[in-house]
């Protein structure tokens, strides 16, 4: 195959070889997850990368990553400045 391994998790291929084997290379990238850099005249011009699935719903996305410590529903035992002097001006 005309694809060169460059290390670092990507491969390079000439545009002419990419054109001839495009569909097969798309399947390889989707399966392996390794991107391919496409070159023209020795210069990188494009990248073929795997498509990543996105979250459909953010609700619950961090489940298992966040730990709630203590009671987050009950009121706190701290008096707010607005409760102490409701007619006063808040100090910045």
CA distances from 63 to 58, 60, 67, 68 (A): 10, 5, 9, 11
pLDDT band at residue 72 using 50, 70 and 90 as cut-offs: confident
Q: pLDDT tens for residues 14-52?
A: 999 999 999 999 999 999 989 999 999 999 999 999 987
Q: pLDDT tens for residues 57-70?
A: 778 878 888 888 88
Handedness of CA 72, 77, 81, 85 (dihedral sign): positive
pTM of the model: 0.51
Which of 37, 57, 61, 58 lies closest to 48 in space, CA to CA?
Answer: 37
pLDDT band at residue 6 using 50, 70 and 90 as cut-offs: very low
pLDDT band at residue 1 using 50, 70 and 90 as cut-offs: very low
């Amino acid at each position: 195959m005309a694809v060169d391994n460059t290390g670092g998790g990507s491969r390079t291929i000439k545009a002419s070889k990419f054109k001839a084997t495009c569909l097969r290379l798309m399947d390889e990238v989707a399966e392996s997850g390794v991107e391919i850099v496409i070159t023209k005249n020795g210069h990188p011009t494009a990248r073929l990368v795997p498509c990543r699935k996105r979250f459909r719903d953010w609700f619950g996305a961090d489940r298992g990553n966040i730990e709630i410590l203590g009671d987050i529903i009950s009121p706190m035992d701290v008096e707010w400045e607005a409760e102490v002097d409701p007619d006063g001006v808040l100090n910045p």
